[in-house]
Amino acid sequence: MSRLPATERRKQLLDTAARLFAERGYARATTAEIARAAQVTEPIIYRHFSSKKELFIALINRTGEETLRLWKQQLHKAPDPAERLRRLIGANPLVSNRGRGAYRVIVQAMTEISDPDILAALAHHIRVLHEFVAGEVVAAQEAGFVSERFSASITAWMLLHLGLGYGVLAPLDIPGHAQDESGVRVREVIEQLMLGDSTRQAENLRKHARRAAEDRGDAEDAA
């Protein structure tokens, strides 16, 4: 195939590998397959990555960074903490069309935890993700949109669990998954739980404006 500069080839290999690892998992995706899909021969892979595992880890890291970048970008234009949180919930990288396929690599990696290197890369990613989500929750709490009954840290863990659980289950294509008979979706429920209904939001918005001078407060929620 056509000659490509190293950096571009490397990127292309990662893209191709992402697709195959996501589809078939780490163990089942073969290097020969990846090479063929990238329209090169196997040794090319080994010129850019010292081993299949290294390729996989590079992919985990890239996917992790890209996910975060995408997420931040989605929030970027929303200064209002409530809207930011709403987008955070809606733009679950596991759910969005763009992220879903890519993010499956991360989920696949979670079954390869017997390898310490993969485990480390994964744990790092999760920590970064938790930190980011927790930061958003803090902002929403400080603005009075989210109750301070539960700490931002634990709330962030729950959001991550929800997102991961959804993302792990979604590819099974179970009819009626994550929604009820009347078509209500979990995302909407989570929004409701986190942010309350619209009247309450309006109220909080007023509080928020008022409080811009003062200090802190909260909202309450129960299922």
Task: Quote the CA–CA distance of 57 and 124 in Å, as a whole number.
Answer: 12
Determine whether 34 is exposed, middle or buried from the number of CB atoms within 10 Å of its CB (0-12, 13-18, 19+).
Answer: buried
- Applying CB under 7 A, the span of 51-59, 101-109, 155-163, 169-177 interacting with DNA comes to 51-59
Nearer to DNA, 26 or 71 (CB): 26
CA-wise closest residue to 7 among 36, 47, 63, 54:
47
- Cβ–Cβ under 8 Å, residues 63 and 18: yes
Q: Is 15 in the site for DNA (CB under 7 A)?
A: no
Nearer to a copy of itself, 91 or 193 (CB): 193
Q: Is 6 in the site for DNA (CB under 7 A)?
A: yes
Task: Quote the CA–CA distance of 215 and 223 in Å, as a whole number.
Answer: 28
Q: 52 contacts which partner out of a copy of itself, DNA, none, CB within 5 to 8 A by kind?
A: DNA
Residue that the structure tokens 């989570």 belong to: 190
Least distance from DNA to the Cβ atom of residue 25, Å = 11
Choosing from 18, 40, 94, 118, the residue that interacts with DNA (CB under 7 A) is: 40
Helices (H), the chain: 6-28, 31-37, 42-48, 52-76, 81-90, 97-109, 116-142, 152-169, 186-195, 198-211
- Cβ–Cβ under 8 Å, residues 177 and 170: yes
Q: 5 contacts which partner out of a copy of itself, DNA, none, CB within 5 to 8 A by kind?
A: DNA
Binding site for a copy of itself (CB under 8 A): 23-28, 107-108, 110-114, 119, 122-123, 126-127, 146-147, 149-155, 157-158, 160-166, 168-169, 171-174, 176-182, 184-186, 189-190, 192-194, 196, 200, 221-223
Task: Quote the CA–CA distance of 172 and 174 in Å, as a whole number.
Answer: 6
Nearer to DNA, 2 or 199 (CB): 2
Residues 52-81 that bind DNA (CB under 7 A): 52-53
User: Which stretches of the chain bind DNA, using CB under 7 A?
Assistant: 1-6, 9, 29-32, 39-44, 46-47, 51-53
